[in-house]
Amino acid sequence: MYSFPFSANDLSRMKQAKKITAITGAGISSESGIPTFRGEGGLWKNYRAEDLATPQAFAKDPDLVWEWYDWRRKICAEAQPNQGHITLAKWETIVPGFTLITQNVDGLHPRAGSKNLLQIHGNIFKARCLNCGNLSEIDPEKPREVSCSLCFSKLRPHILWFGESYDQDLIASCFETISSSDLILIVGTSANVSVPADMAKEGIRKGAFSIEINPERTSLSELVDYSLQGKSGEILPKLLDEIYK
C-alpha cells in the first residue's frame, strides 16, 4: 500500500481543485516500453536522434528521416497506454477543467482517452505539408502518403525538430492554462526541456498546489509542494483514489 505524505488540508485542496493541469514527459511513455531515442539506447543505423530530427537532415535526405519516423511509429503503434495514461484520462472525466500538456509525440494519451490535450512537440501519427501546412493523419496499417492531398507538395513529420521554434499560439495557450490552475501535476519529465519546465514554474509561481511524479528528483523537486519518487503508472491511480475516495 502506497503511503502518501499529504495532510488532510492537502487532500481537501486537491479534491476542491476546479482547474488542473498535468505536464507529461518521456518517463510516462517509457513505462509502456517506448524508448527515449537518446543516448546509447537511441542509436539507429549509427545515427543519433539529434542528427535525424532536424530541418537540415530532412532537407538533405528526406527518405532517411521518414524511414526513421516510420520505424518509430511502428514502435508507438505497438505500445499500449499504461495506467498512468489511463488515470490522467479518467481524471479529465472527473474534473472538466482538466488539461493535459504533453511533450510526447507517441499518441498514447489520446489513445488512453485524453481529449483536452495540448501536444507541444507534435504527433508522430500526423504529417504536415511543407507548402500549405495542412495536417493529415498517418494510419500505421496503411502505406504512408508522400504528398499533400490539397496542394500535392511534399509532406514532413508533424514533429517539433531540434532548432525549430514552438508554435507560439499553442505555447501561449499552455501558459494561460497553467497560470490559472489550482493543481499542477508534473509527470515523468526530467525538466531538462526549458519550455515545459518554465510552464511548471509559472504554475508554481502563481500559487498552484504542485506534485511531481518521477523516478528521480529533478530541478523542479525543490520547488513543488510534493515530489513523489516512483513510476507514474503505479502512483497516479493510487493518487486519484486517495483524493476522491
Do 245 and 128 fall into the same domain?
no
Provide the residue-wise pLDDT of the chain in tens; the chain has 245 residues: 578 999 999 999 999 999 999 999 999 999 999 976 554 445 466 677 778 899 999 999 999 999 999 999 999 999 999 999 999 999 999 999 999 999 999 999 999 999 999 999 999 999 999 999 999 999 988 999 999 999 999 999 999 999 999 999 999 999 999 999 999 999 999 888 789 999 999 999 999 999 999 999 999 999 999 999 999 999 999 999 999 98
Q: Give the number of domains in the chain.
A: 2
Assess contact for 32 and 108: CB atoms under 8 A. Answer: yes
How much is the pLDDT for 101? 98
pLDDT for the residue numbered 45? 65
> What gap in Å lies between CA 125 and CA 169, rounded to an integer?
21
Q: Print the domain residue range for 203.
A: 1-33+81-121+166-245
Q: What is the pLDDT of residue 39?
A: 43
pLDDT of amino acid 104:
96
Q: Do residue 105 and residue 150 come from a single domain?
A: no
Write the DSSP string, 137-204: E--TTSPPP-B-TTT-PBEEEEE--TTPPP-HHHHHHHHHHHHT-SEEEEES--S-SHHHHHHHHHHH
Candidates 75, 174, 56, 55; CA nearest to 117 is: 174
214/97 same-domain check = yes
Q: Is 121 a catalytic residue?
A: yes
Last residue of a domain, one of 159, 176, 205: 159
Predicted TM-score of the model (pTM) = 0.93
Give the sign of the dihedral formed by CA 62, CA 69, CA 109, CA 11.
negative
List the CATH number of the domain containing 147. Answer: 3.30.1600.10
The pLDDT score that the predictor gives to residue 44 is 60
The rounded distance, in Å, linking the Cα atoms of 87 and 19 is: 17
Same domain, 177 and 145: no
